[in-house]
Amino acid sequence: MNTVGRLTIAGLGPGAAELVTPEVAEALAQASDIVGYGPYVDRVPARPGLTLHASDNRVELDRSRLALDLAAQGRDVVVVSSGDPGVFAMAAAVFEALEAGDPAWRTLDIRVLPGVTAMLAAAARVGAPLGHDFCAINLSDNLKPWELVERRLRLAAQADFAMALYNPSSRSRPWQFARTLEILREEKGAETVIVFARSVSQPQETIAVSTLAEARPEQADMRTLVIVGSSTTRLIVRQNAPPIVYTPRRCDGGAG
Amino acid sequence: MNTVGRLTIAGLGPGAAELVTPEVAEALAQASDIVGYGPYVDRVPARPGLTLHASDNRVELDRSRLALDLAAQGRDVVVVSSGDPGVFAMAAAVFEALEAGDPAWRTLDIRVLPGVTAMLAAAARVGAPLGHDFCAINLSDNLKPWELVERRLRLAAQADFAMALYNPSSRSRPWQFARTLEILREEKGAETVIVFARSVSQPQETIAVSTLAEARPEQADMRTLVIVGSSTTRLIVRQNAPPIVYTPRRCDGGAG
């Protein structure tokens, strides 16, 4: 353990152990303390000398301050995120806490270790829907006005980006994804491909491929990553296997 | 080896072995044939029973047809990509070849294994610049009209997305990145953060953090991933360490 303390913000990937990078596995093996949301901390095997600090959802700043404080005490701390820590996950929260907190925290050894974020794992399961230009939008309006989400959805449709939509729905946000589908139907063709990828790489994984015309709001929950195709996204139909969804590299630019 | 053949399209990550997922390492260990662009095939250790098929850049469809043909002969083929195979890499090319090719290819066992794409590795090196909504744009106009790139850059700026810009420059595309900087300066504030991340995770890695006002076209080449901040992207200045670049989770929605 470093005497000056170290803080590592690590991505565990979407769930399966075989998607955890060796770099992250090594950081977990070296750590004195693991800090994170309970279900993610549960993915780290207990061992002597390792202290697990599991916390509830939606207390990201408290969790970040705990991690920074432990590192400042000389501990070797790993903050764990699902997916990639820099994509709608813990890295930004830690840096918010760092910037607003004890100036001494700025002298800590801090590093971010990337991971396989949900959209990449989901895209891989169906083919290559993000094979051309795309965007990633967090549909949660907990930390931004819903009007901004709507504006970004419309501009992204006009740019003809494929879209990865994170956090489409939860108990506290019951209507937002239904509204998202309405906006996408106004801006994009009814036959646009939409993919619902739930709990990718975990035992309960489910994948559904549909169209904007047929998609229903209840197909997305808090464990679902939604991918919406661009105007060029295609299906390859196969016998005895699900269709392949992909967006060709070539685009003539007519759509938008 | 499967008697019916298998095709795996695998992401090797940005370069370092510790960023290759165990799933991909296992696929490489099982393969009979590796197909890919020479420098990526060079990352796979030779061993008895493994045939390496290295090809030049910009022959993605030929390479894809070779891989599909080998799999159809009953081989266990891995097509290797840098980063994630679904992000501006080989997966879309393989599916283009599959759709246009021998109908028997559709019965092959085909899978895509995700990887750490360049923008995630680059973002992790500087902090969390992609911590809020963002987009990924391939600046190459080899397969799409340059007008479409310009249109997407402007709409992405209006949506106030952070941006990951892939393939900013090459010998055959000498002026496009200079034009990109002009467009971004028209659409975004002069103090907008821009990050040039070259050869991330490789021995020759270099990272430069600048502003749109000060950025120069020659800071990007074919090995560079460029990240452009949103209006809310911030720097945390540190003594004796590079600044941290991050985009807070919260956004009040005024910009764009």
Structure tokens given for A70: 């432990």
Residues 124-163 of B with CB under 8 A from A: 124-125, 127-138, 143-145, 147-148, 151-152, 155-156, 158-161
A90: how many CB neighbours lie within 10 A of its CB? 28
* pTM listed for this prediction: 0.97
Q: Which segments of chain B does DSSP mark as H helices, in order?
A: 22-30, 38-41, 60-72, 90-100, 118-126, 146-158, 176-187
Could you report the per-residue pLDDT of B100-158, keeping only the tens digit for each?
Answer: 999 999 999 999 999 999 999 999 999 999 999 999 999 999 999 999 999 999 999 99
Could you report the per-residue pLDDT of A198-221, keeping only the tens digit for each?
Answer: 999 999 999 999 999 999 999 999
Cα–Cα separations (whole angstroms), residue A35 to A43, A97, A98: 12, 14, 15
Could you report the per-residue pLDDT of B20-59, keeping only the tens digit for each?
Answer: 999 999 999 999 999 999 999 999 999 999 999 999 888 9
First to last CA, chain B: 54
In this model, does residue B83 exceed pLDDT 60? yes
Residues in chain B: 256
Question: In sequence order, which residues have a C-beta less than 8 Å from that of residue A144 and are 6 or more positions away?
Answer: B132, B250, B251, B252, B253
Round to whole Å and give the CA distance between B238 and A112: 16
Q: What is the mean pLDDT of residues A69-81?
A: 98
Tell me which amino acid residue B240 is. N
For B27, the closest chain A residue by CA position comes to A18
Enclosing H/E stretch for A62: helix A60-72
For each of the domains in chain B, give its residue range(s) and CATH number, in order of start. Answer: 6-116 (3.40.1010.10), 119-246 (3.30.950.10)
Could you report the per-residue pLDDT of B185-239, keeping only the tens digit for each?
Answer: 999 999 999 999 999 999 999 999 999 999 999 999 999 999 999 999 999 999 9
For B12, the closest chain A residue by CA position comes to A21
In this model, does residue B2 exceed pLDDT 50? no
* Helix, strand, coil abundance in chain B, percent, nearest 5: 30, 30, 40
Question: In sequence order, which residues have a C-beta less than 8 Å from that of residue A139 and are 6 or more positions away?
Answer: A149, A165, A166, A167, A168, A169, A173, A176, A177, A180
Contacts of A129 in chain B (CB under 8 A): 86
Round to whole Å and give the CA distance between B33 and B246: 41
Q: What is the mean pLDDT of residues A66-82?
A: 98
Structure tokens given for B28: 């490489």
Model ipTM?
0.97
Q: Which has more pLDDT, B253 or A102?
A: A102
Is B215 touching A (CB cutoff 8 A)? no
Contacts of A13 in chain B (CB under 8 A): 21
